[in-house]
């Protein structure tokens, strides 16, 4: 692999993704890794990330001085570049000249491997207060900016490289080119990380782990569990049983997508549990959002436990107990929880509604080295339909937390109808790529006066909540074209009985959350 040494979390993940986009497998490791641990991983290359610290601050993150002596091709970025400069005998100074954002960079030694094929003048994304003022002995200075005399350096002989700017950021004009030059030309690493190889590798791993055992997987209808199950199914066929809980809080067409499209594409054995009455019964009379969430989570666990008990009984009759549980854990979850292995990393909210933590299973997590876009690519390669792999995030508690007020069957039907119209129109307008997700919310306890046909109406408002986001931690409201908004509004008020007003939520997160409850 290529190791991405993490000096400050948010950049490291981005770098790891860019390395993978260049067709090379990457892993994130903490900067506290020892030279011996690095050597044991036998990496083909190392990238040192940026970070928020200054190399001068006492206790600022450093790297085991042995790492740069291992002879492994290394690229230092921003803070990583400065750590390199310092360790190798260059000079880093507080020049007082800070550079933030788009900055002009001039190549001073065109022709070097790292920056080859790039124009002499370019813009790059900078974010630093300290600067390298002298390159280490034997290094060529490759680039400078107005206030930074050494903005990039290289020693082709030692295969050590560094740039002050952030090539992983899209605003750096030739950023990806820098990363690819480093990986392919300087370090000589082939571009052979692709969905096909990942699938082959995971299939083998799953077979080795599971043997002849039975495997159970809770499908939520979301991308991650769908792709995880499809991979496991490819590996062990009908040893896998998928369980899908229809809690009655799904959007229009979701159950059919799973029961028909998904099964047709994968051939998995699917058990659907009809639990709508049970969930709606438990939710009757409840209006408090937290209470709704707790009830939905609890009912979900009950349902899943019943299904599990039935499957265990069935397979015990065949003489082989169900021993494995598939989870769609992704790489960012693993990195964020410290990169450890095993069950300690399970976050209950990753499992729709939350699976009980005392389920006695060994986990199968075929996606735990992957990012979301890679999971989508693998899903497509496995032949999953676009309606499943291209799906926007949908919360486990479903429409239950998009009805402000008591959840009833009639209100769910009304909201399903409005939501289907909004989704159809957004898709028709080609806006799915711009929108992270667009909750459609029913204000069930609010009514307003309207005029429809020749008469007075007294109906409910529907809220559109289109947001753009990178990770759902923060979000901005999406500036949708007025024409699209008008079309959605007209259709919903005309077609959905009981709704006489459509309003747009123009709140960012924070202060608003994405969902209304
Ligand atoms: P909020 O409303 O907190 O939502 O801004 C952030 C993201 O998380 C989703 N969400 C959930 N997903 N179970 C889930 O699986 C939940 O209980 C849940 N609550 C919110 C929400 O749709 C958004 O993508």
Higher pLDDT: 340 or 165? It is 165
Q: Which domain holds residue 446?
A: 408-504
Q: 348 and 279 in one domain?
A: yes
Residue 425, in any domain of the structure? yes
Q: Is the pLDDT of residue 344 over 80?
A: no
- 348: domain CATH number is 3.40.50.620
Question: In the annotation, is 438 catalytic?
Answer: no
The reply to whether 373 sits in an annotated binding site is no
Residue 126, in any domain of the structure? yes
Q: Quick one: which of 219, 230, 241, 256 has its CA closest to 381?
A: 230
Q: What mean pLDDT comes out for the span 262-275? A: 95
User: DSSP letters along 348-359, please?
Assistant: GGGSTT---TT-
Q: pLDDT at position 161, please?
A: 98
Q: 359 and 462 in one domain?
A: no
ipTM over 0.90: yes
Q: 213 and 179 in one domain?
A: no
Partnered with residue 102 across adjacent β-strands are: 125
- Pocket lining: 514 vs ligand 1, CB cutoff 6 Å: yes
Those residues whose C-beta lies under 8 Å from the C-beta of residue 275, and which sit 6 or more positions away, are: 245, 246, 247, 248, 299, 303
Q: 414 and 330 in one domain?
A: no
Separation of alpha carbons 400 and 412, rounded Å: 8
Q: 111 and 47 in one domain?
A: yes
Q: What mean pLDDT comes out for the span 323-337? A: 82
Q: Cα of 288 to ligand 1 centre, how many Å?
A: 17
CA terminus-to-terminus distance, the chain:
42
Q: Cα of 18 to ligand 1 centre, how many Å?
A: 27
- Pocket lining: 303 vs ligand 1, CB cutoff 6 Å: no
Separation of alpha carbons 119 and 130, rounded Å: 26
Q: Is the pLDDT of residue 345 over 80?
A: no
- Pull the structure tokens for residue 492: 């919903």
pLDDT-derived band at 350, boundaries 50, 70, 90: very low
Q: What mean pLDDT comes out for the span 287-297? A: 93
Residue 140, in any domain of the structure? yes
Q: 311 and 221 in one domain?
A: yes
Separation of alpha carbons 276 and 255, rounded Å: 12
The reply to whether 221 sits in an annotated binding site is yes
Q: Cα of 515 to ligand 1 centre, how many Å?
A: 7
Q: 358 and 418 in one domain?
A: no
Q: Cα of 221 to ligand 1 centre, how many Å?
A: 15
Partnered with residue 105 across adjacent β-strands are: 122, 145
The reply to whether 102 sits in an annotated binding site is no
Q: pLDDT at position 321, please?
A: 74
pTM tops 0.90: no
Q: 150 and 89 in one domain?
A: yes
Q: 483 and 418 in one domain?
A: yes
DSSP 262: I
Q: Quick one: which of 498, 482, 426, 489 has its CA closest to 463?
A: 489
Q: pLDDT at position 154, please?
A: 97
The reply to whether 224 sits in an annotated binding site is yes
Separation of alpha carbons 11 and 52, rounded Å: 10
Q: pLDDT at position 337, please?
A: 60
Other Cβ atoms less than 10 A from the Cβ of 272: the count is 15
Other Cβ atoms less than 10 A from the Cβ of 409: the count is 11
- 499: domain CATH number is 3.30.300.10
Of 397, 515, 516, the one to substitute when testing ligand 1's pocket (max ligand atoms within 8 A of C-beta) is 515
Q: Quick one: which of 220, 227, 277, 281 has its CA closest to 251?
A: 220
Residue 206, in any domain of the structure? yes
Give yes or no for a contact between 450 and 436, defined as CB atoms under 8 angstroms apart: no
Q: pLDDT at position 454, please?
A: 85
Give yes or no for a contact between 175 and 125, defined as CB atoms under 8 angstroms apart: yes
Q: Cα of 257 to ligand 1 centre, how many Å?
A: 21
- Pocket lining: 349 vs ligand 1, CB cutoff 6 Å: yes
Q: pLDDT at position 104, please?
A: 95
- Pull the structure tokens for residue 91: 């000079």
pLDDT-derived band at 347, boundaries 50, 70, 90: very low
Angle at 510 between CA 506 and CA 515, to 5 degrees: 65
Q: Quick one: which of 449, 468, 471 has its CA closest to 458?
A: 449
Other Cβ atoms less than 10 A from the Cβ of 159: the count is 18
Closest ligand 1 atom, residue 222 Cα: 15
Q: How far is CA 133 from CA 83, 165, 404, in A?
A: 13, 15, 59
Q: What mean pLDDT comes out for the span 288-316? A: 87
Query: Which of 122, 155, 186 is the endpoint of a domain?
Result: 186
Higher pLDDT: 27 or 349? It is 27
Query: Which of 160, 186, 212 is the endpoint of a domain?
Result: 186
Structural domain count of the chain = 3
Q: pLDDT (tens digit, 9 = 90+) per residue, 179-238?
A: 999 999 999 999 999 999 999 999 999 999 999 999 999 998 889 999 999 999 999 999
- Pocket lining: 395 vs ligand 1, CB cutoff 6 Å: yes
Q: pLDDT (tens digit, 9 = 90+) per residue, 127-182?
A: 888 999 999 999 999 999 998 999 999 999 999 999 999 999 888 999 999 999 99
Q: Which of 21, 99, 128, 166 is catalytic?
A: 166
Q: How far is CA 460 from CA 287, 439, 493, in A?
A: 16, 16, 10
Other Cβ atoms less than 10 A from the Cβ of 309: the count is 10
Residue 396, in any domain of the structure? no
Q: Is the pLDDT of residue 341 over 50?
A: no
- Pocket lining: 356 vs ligand 1, CB cutoff 6 Å: no
Question: In the annotation, is 166 catalytic?
Answer: yes
Those residues whose C-beta lies under 8 Å from the C-beta of residue 161, and which sit 6 or more positions away, are: 73, 74, 75, 76, 114, 152, 153, 154, 155, 182, 186
Residue 268, in any domain of the structure? yes
Partnered with residue 125 across adjacent β-strands are: 102
Q: pLDDT at position 357, please?
A: 63
The reply to whether 446 sits in an annotated binding site is no
Q: Is the pLDDT of residue 352 over 80?
A: no
Of 472, 474, 477, the one to substitute when testing ligand 1's pocket (max ligand atoms within 8 A of C-beta) is 472
Q: Is the pLDDT of residue 353 over 60?
A: no
Q: pLDDT at position 348, please?
A: 35
Other Cβ atoms less than 10 A from the Cβ of 488: the count is 26
Partnered with residue 362 across adjacent β-strands are: 324
- Pocket lining: 222 vs ligand 1, CB cutoff 6 Å: no
- Pocket lining: 393 vs ligand 1, CB cutoff 6 Å: yes
Query: Which of 389, 423, 455 is the endpoint of a domain?
Result: 389
Residue 127, in any domain of the structure? yes
Q: pLDDT (tens digit, 9 = 90+) per residue, 382-413?
A: 999 998 998 889 998 999 999 999 999 999 99
The rounded radius of gyration (Å) of the Cα atoms in the chain is: 27
Q: Is the pLDDT of residue 339 over 60?
A: no
Q: Cα of 281 to ligand 1 centre, how many Å?
A: 23
- 65: domain CATH number is 3.40.50.880
Question: In the annotation, is 120 catalytic?
Answer: no
Q: 282 and 223 in one domain?
A: yes
Q: pLDDT (tens digit, 9 = 90+) per residue, 430-486?
A: 999 899 999 999 999 999 999 988 899 999 999 999 999 877 888 999 999 999 999
Give yes or no for a contact between 16 and 27, defined as CB atoms under 8 angstroms apart: yes
For residue 358, count CB atoms less than 10 angstroms from its CB and return exposed for 0-12, middle for 13-18, buried for 19 or more. Answer: exposed
Q: pLDDT at position 111, please?
A: 65
Task: Please report how many Cα atoms fall inside a 13 Å half-sphere around the Cα of residue 98, on the Cβ side.
Answer: 6
The reply to whether 220 sits in an annotated binding site is yes
Q: 435 and 378 in one domain?
A: no
Q: 210 and 139 in one domain?
A: no
Separation of alpha carbons 420 and 462, rounded Å: 13
Q: pLDDT (tens digit, 9 = 90+) per residue, 71-111?
A: 999 999 999 999 999 999 999 998 888 888 899 999 998 66
- Pull the structure tokens for residue 6: 């993490």
- Tell me the percentage of the chain whose pLDDT exceeds 90: 74
Q: How far is CA 393 from CA 105, 220, 222, 450, in A?
A: 39, 11, 7, 33
- Residue with the smallest CA separation from ligand 1 atom 4 is 514
The reply to whether 116 sits in an annotated binding site is no
For residue 213, count CB atoms less than 10 angstroms from its CB and return exposed for 0-12, middle for 13-18, buried for 19 or more. Answer: middle
Q: Which of 21, 31, 99, 168 is catalytic?
A: 168
Residue 93, in any domain of the structure? yes
Separation of alpha carbons 28 and 504, rounded Å: 40
Residues in the chain: 517
Give the distance, in angstroms, between the CA of residue 387 and the centroid of all CA atoms in the same chain.
18
């Amino acid at each position: 692999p290529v190791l991405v040494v993490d000096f400050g979390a948010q950049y490291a993940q981005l770098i790891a993704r860019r390395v993978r986009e260049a067709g090379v497998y990457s892993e994130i490791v903490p900067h506290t890794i020892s030279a011996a641990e690095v050597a044991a991983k036998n990496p083909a290359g190392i990238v040192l990330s940026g970070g928020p610290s200054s190399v001068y601050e006492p206790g600022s993150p450093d790297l085991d001085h042995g790492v740069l002596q291992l002879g492994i091709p290394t690229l230092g970025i921003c803070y990583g570049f400065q750590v390199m400069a310092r360790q190798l005998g260059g000079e880093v100074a507080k020049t007082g000249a800070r550079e933030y954002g788009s900055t002009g960079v001039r190549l001073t030694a065109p022709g070097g491997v790292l920056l080859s094929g790039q124009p002499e003048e370019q813009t790059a994304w900078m974010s630093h207060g300290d600067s390298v003022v002298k390159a280490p002995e034997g290094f060529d200075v490759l680039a400078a900016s107005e206030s930074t005399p050494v903005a990039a350096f290289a020693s082709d002989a030692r295969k050590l490289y560094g740039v002050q700017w952030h090539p992983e950021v899209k605003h750096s004009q030739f950023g990806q080119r820098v990363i690819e030059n480093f990986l392919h030309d300087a370090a000589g690493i082939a571009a052979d990380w692709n969905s096909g190889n990942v699938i082959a590798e995971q299939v083998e791993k799953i077979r080795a782990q599971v043997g002849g055992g039975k495997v159970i997987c809770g499908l939520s209808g979301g991308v991650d569990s769908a792709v995880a199950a499809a991979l496991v199914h490819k590996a062990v066929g009908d040893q896998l049983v998928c369980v899908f809980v229809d809690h009655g809080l799904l959007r229009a067409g979701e159950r059919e997508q799973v029961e028909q499209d998904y099964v047709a594409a994968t051939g998995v054995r699917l058990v659907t549990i009809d639990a709508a009455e049970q969930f709606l019964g438990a939710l009757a009379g409840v209006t408090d959002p937290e209470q709704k969430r707790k009830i939905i989570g609890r009912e979900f666990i009950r349902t899943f436990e019943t299904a599990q008990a039935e499957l265990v009984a069935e397979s015990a009759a065949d003489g082989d107990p169900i021993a494995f549980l598939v989870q769609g854990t992704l790489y960012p979850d693993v990195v964020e929880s410290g990169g450890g292995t095993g069950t300690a990393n399970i976050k209950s909210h990753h499992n729709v509604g939350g699976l009980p933590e005392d389920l006695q299973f060994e986990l199968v997590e075929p996606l735990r080295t992957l990012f979301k876009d890679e999971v989508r690519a693998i899903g497509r390669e496995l032949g999953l339909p676009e309606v499943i792999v291209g799906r926007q995030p949908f919360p486990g508690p479903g429409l239950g937390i998009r009805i402000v007020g008591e959840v009833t069957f009639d209100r769910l039907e009304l909201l399903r109808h409005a939501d289907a119209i909004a989704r159809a129109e957004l898709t028709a307008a080609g806006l799915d790529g711009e929108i992270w997700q667009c909750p459609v919310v029913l204000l069930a306890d609010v009514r307003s006066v309207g005029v429809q046909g020749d008469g007075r109406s007294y109906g409910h408002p529907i809220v559109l909540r289109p947001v753009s986001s990178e990770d759902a931690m923060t979000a901005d409201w999406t500036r949708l074209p007025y024409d699209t908004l008008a079309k959605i509004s007209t259709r919903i008020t005309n077609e959905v009985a009981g709704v006489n007003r459509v309003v747009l939520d123009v709140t960012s997160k924070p202060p608003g959350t994405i969902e209304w409850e």
